[in-house]
Amino acid sequence: MLGAWLLAGDVRAQEIPTRKDTVAAPADTTKQKFDERVMSNLREISQRKTIMGKLLKAILVFDRRDEEVLGLDAELIQREYERHNYKVVRHINIMTLDALGYSIHDTTRVPRSFLEKAGNSLHVKTRRHLVRNKLLFQRMEPLEPLALVESERLLRQTDYLLDARIIVDERTTTDDSVDVLVITKDIFSLGGSGSYTPSSGSGRVALRELNFLGLGHQIRGSYRFNMNAPRSWETTAGYTVENIGNTYITADINYFDQNFYKERSAYLRRDFFATNTRYAGAVGASKIDEQLLLPPVPEDTIQRFAEVGYHRQDLWLGRSFKFKSYNLGFEPRGRLITALRVINTNFYTKPTENFQDNVLGIASLGYSVRRYYKDRYLYGFGRTEDIPAGTLASVSYGYERGDLFNRRYFGLDLSFARYNKEAGYLYSRAGYGSFIRNGKWEQGMLELESLYFTRLYENGNWKLRHFILGRSTIGINRNPEELLSINNEEGLRGFRSGLLRGNRRVVINYEANLYTPFKLFGFRLATLVFADVAWLSYGNKSSPFKSTPFQGFGAGIRFRNEYLSFSTIQILVGYYPKIPANENFNNLRIYESSRSYYDFEDFRFTQPGIAEFR
């Protein structure tokens, strides 16, 4: 890890200014002077021949190279390109840039330092044909609406690319043809993460290569050791090959050997990756063994588990239909989608009589409208990020044929999101699903979710954004062994209870992120504070709000180098005033995490299925 940090130490993270309006507001010289004064004082200290001066000079980067990106507040359908729709693409010129020292916005910039050049020598640059295979338009064919912006978004969301731009060369454009320039910038694709606890000797090591030999293949692996668990070690591995033969079909092979979960699976899948994708589907098989947590009783002091094991074969196919448009310069975003899925499950270990071998067939009808906007400082530290907005509605109906009983399934889901550069982003979702047997609704679930984040507040080089997430999961006539927790991502971040379980849950999370102008070994720094509240109840007719909620409060730091494939590293301190009965752990906890607590829900139609109760 230290070697990778030193390798990236001389890389300057990009600071991308927002587009300036035609009538600009007067500059706030007070804010500018404050930032300049802070940085000037730190720079002056770093030049002293003291221990503090040498430390600041070693870890902070004061020189900034700004880059200008326009259109970050605009929807990803650029009106200036509409006049090129249906023109023939004469040439597609592809420029791939190495990970360190290059700029996607200034192609004349080259690596200057030894560390940048050395880092690039260890990195295999992405092959041009991989970029070409991602494009939704081809040479000597008409340029269809949305092809440019959708191709750029797909490239930007590729794991081994930091950013991408697709530009129509206006200098060579004619009335019936165009030349297109595609520019991509790699990340340093070899990376990983790790942790170690000196008091217990436990730790975790994870490695991944996101672009093996420049071919776009992904290899992942992790190993945990000296765990306080039935077995002291765990390991996982995975291999992914994406966009096989320019078909957007991806192959996944996964292996998990953990204490309470084991999986061996292989899948071929193709998503509705773009707005105008017509066909999607998947086929695969898996073998899964897991330890199912049993319902707690008041006298429990340790967790009780039952074993469940099964083989599963899965197949689904979907087709989207677009609506007629009488405007050749605009393609409608709405899609009507139909899908059918068949799942065959055979249990070789059954913990209770509620598990049966079965074949489930389920059909869905959905309507999807997708659009994307550009913004910064959401999950990244200045790179361009695509924000999904739109509407997704679907209704599902299925039939399960089992060796003990047969039953039907009904599901309904509705979600929408709106984005405004001044007001921020609002996402809401409501979903319901339940089996029906002999006129009785069973194993039902109602889900409600809403996410809001504010616009980016800027004070010189300091940036602030707030996040609020509300979620509720209400189980309806669930089986006794189907339980919810409020641990970590499911409720209170950093909270870990082995006994606290229920089947009705309500959670509210708040977080404020402050992005600083400081860099540590090329890693940009941010600070955060959070407050979480969770209600949990047990019983199909219970109310979560009748009990005192569990709470979590804390703060931490977050750092990331956008040029490397290392996960975002977070070090957090959490305080939990209320401790579950029969459990003894500290109210105060210091821990590290590489997962982002919030994430976007894309309005991409996915495979039909049973709503997961977790």
Radius of gyration of the chain (CA): 26
Q: pLDDT higher for 87 or 434?
A: 434
State the architecture of 74-186 in CATH terms.
Roll (3.10)
pLDDT in tens, 284-307: 999 999 988 877 776 666 777 889
Closest CA to 351 of 311, 309, 308: 308
β-strand pairing of 457-459 with 440-453:
unpaired
- What is the distance between the alpha carbons of residues 445 and 440, in angstroms, rounded to a whole number? 14
With bands split at pLDDT 50, 70 and 90, how would you rate the model's confidence at 14?
A: very low
Which of 168, 99, 160 is CA-nearest to residue 131?
Answer: 160
Residue 55 has pLDDT above 80, yes or no: no
CA-based diameter of the chain, in Å?
A: 82
Q: pLDDT tens digits for 332-372?
A: 678 899 999 999 999 999 988 889 999 999 999 999 988 88
pLDDT higher at 571 or 75:
571
C-alpha closest to that of 181 among 121, 258, 272, 107? 107
| 88-97 and 177-186 strand pairing | parallel
* Cα-to-chain-centroid distance, residue 483: 25
pLDDT (tens digit, 9 = 90+) per residue, 63-80? 544 444 433 444 544 555
Alpha helices, H only, 88-229? 114-121, 128-134, 147-156
d(CA 68, CA 77): 19
Cross-strand bridge partners of residue 190 = 209
Nearest-angstrom CA–CA distance, 96 and 125: 7
Mean pLDDT of the chain: 82
Cα gap 148→156, rounded to integer Å: 12
In angstroms, the Cα distances linking 254 to 33, 211, 263, 265 are 53, 17, 7, 5
Average pLDDT over residues 266-278: 90
Give me the count of residues in the chain: 614
Portions of the chain given CATH number 2.40.160: 260-593
Q: DSSP H helical segments within 323-425, as ranges?
A: none
Say which residue the tokens 């061996």 belong to. 264
Question: pTM of this prediction?
Answer: 0.76
* Range from 90-94, 101-105, 594-598 that averages highest in pLDDT: 90-94
**Beta-sheet pairing, 406-420 with 440-453:** unpaired
Please determine, for residue 27, whether its predicted confidence score (pLDDT) is greater than 60. Answer: no
Amino acid at 157: Q
- Quote the pLDDT of residue 56: 61
Q: Does the structure show a pLDDT above 70 at 28? A: no
Q: What is the DSSP letter of 492?
A: B
Dihedral sign (CA 186, 191, 192, 193)? negative
Given pLDDT bands bounded at 50, 70 and 90, which one contains residue 6? Answer: very low
Helix (H, G, I), strand (E, B) or coil at 167: strand
CA 347 – CA 489 distance, rounded (Å): 29
Indicate the range of 278-282, 523-527, 528-532 predicted with least confidence.
523-527
DSSP string, 223-265: EEES-SSSSS-EEEEEEEE-SGGGS--EEEEEEEE-SSEEEEE
Q: What residue has token string 């975790």?
A: 204
Say if residues 451 and 467 touch (Cβ distance below 8 Å).
Answer: yes
* Better-scored residue on pLDDT, 181 or 245: 181
Task: Name the amino acid, one letter, at 259.
Answer: N
Query: Which residues partner with 174 through β-bridges?
Result: none
pLDDT at residue number 58: 54
User: Nearest to residue 308, comparing CAs of 344, 346, 345, 350?
Assistant: 350
CATH class in words for 260-593: mainly beta
Domain with CATH 3.10.20.310 in the chain: 74-186
Per-residue model confidence (pLDDT) at position 611: 84
pLDDT tens, position by position, 422-457: 889 999 999 999 999 999 999 999 999 999 999 999
Phi, psi of 475 (to 5 degrees): -80, 140
Rounded average pLDDT over 450-466: 91
